[in-house]
Amino acid sequence: MTQTTDIQLVPRSMVPEFIETEFGIPVSSKKLSKLATVGGGPEYRKFGNQVFYEKHALRDWVHQKLSAPKRSSSNLEVDP
């Protein structure tokens, strides 16, 4: 197994603050827990029974969820 020392982990309890600070978007720990069960959330890692997210995975997830910039709501596409 390869060792990486540049991994920046965020515990699930701190993810809402991280995303709010980085993007100004509210997300709850409860929502992340649900997404970890049903799918659609950011990739995560476990250490024992604790859940951690890599900062780059959180940023990637937010960018994937954001729509393209829009100028009008009359031509909105349906998001998947």
Task: Answer yes or no: is 37 within a domain.
Answer: yes
d(CA 36, CA 50): 13
Q: What are phi and psi of 29, to 5 degrees?
A: -60, -35
Q: What is the extent of the structural domain holding 53?
A: 9-65
Task: Answer yes or no: is 35 within a domain.
Answer: yes
Ordered per-residue pLDDT tens for the chain, 80 residues: 566 568 899 999 999 999 999 999 999 999 999 999 999 999 999 999 999 999 999 999 999 999 988 888 876 665 55
Report how many domains make up the chain.
1
Task: Answer yes or no: is 56 within a domain.
Answer: yes
